[in-house]
Amino acid sequence: MSHIENTADVSAGARIGAGTHIWHLAQVREGAQIGAGCNIGRGAYIGPDVILGKNCKIQNYALVYEPARLEGGVFIGPAAVLTNDLYPRAINTDGTLKDGSDWHAVGVTLREGASIGARAVCIAPVEIGAWAMVAAGAVVSKDVPAHALMVGVPAKQLGWVGKSGHRLIPEGEDWVCPATGERYRFANDELSSVG
């Protein structure tokens, strides 16, 4: 059973998974699909037709604009923004107010377990790889590989992180998580867990 606070604005046209909590003043628009076990924080915004996989955590005042796609286990920090407009303008070149027919929305895709820090901005269209971590306040304007640690404005890769979120330490051919001991190795231009 999901829990939706009375002050939340959840469209009747949204699908909410079992065990999901939607807190005070959050807005979930029509066509949004929220997976099971998600947590949508106070004042968060989930745009029309946005898709969240199971067990996502969207912190207070985060803005997830359509057509964003989030796989399972994604974390969006407080006041982070996933944009959707390549050429943002309030008016057309003739001075008339723009409406939905005057632009084409583009989305941000976050793969399994990715984390976006507080007040970070992901400028669509970008893809954030599985288990990648974007630091607080970073501005991402290019695709991010799986397990990458991204920091700064514009965001640059500082290192690698494991599934636990800890920065990986190089050890011979491997990268090792100091918290779990899990080992990772490059193969085919990507970092992957090794058994």
Note whether 74 and 170 are same-domain residues: no
Full-model pTM: 0.94
Enclosing domain of residue 192? 162-195
Note whether 40 and 104 are same-domain residues: yes
Note whether 35 and 117 are same-domain residues: yes
Q: Is the peptide bond before 178 cis (omega within 30 degrees of 0)?
A: no
Q: What is the pLDDT of residues 131-171, one digit of tens each?
A: 999 999 999 999 999 999 999 999 999 999 999 999 999 99
Note whether 36 and 82 are same-domain residues: yes
Q: Which residues contact 139 (CB under 8 A, 6 or more apart)?
A: 120, 121, 123, 152, 153, 154, 155
Residue matched to tokens 């640059």: 156
151: how many CB neighbours lie within 10 A of its CB? 17
Residue type, 112: E
Note whether 169 and 154 are same-domain residues: no
Q: What is the pLDDT of residues 44-69, one digit of tens each?
A: 999 999 999 999 999 999 999 999 99
Total number of domains constituting the chain: 2
Note whether 102 and 119 are same-domain residues: yes
Note whether 170 and 92 are same-domain residues: no
Note whether 155 and 173 are same-domain residues: no
Note whether 86 and 10 are same-domain residues: yes
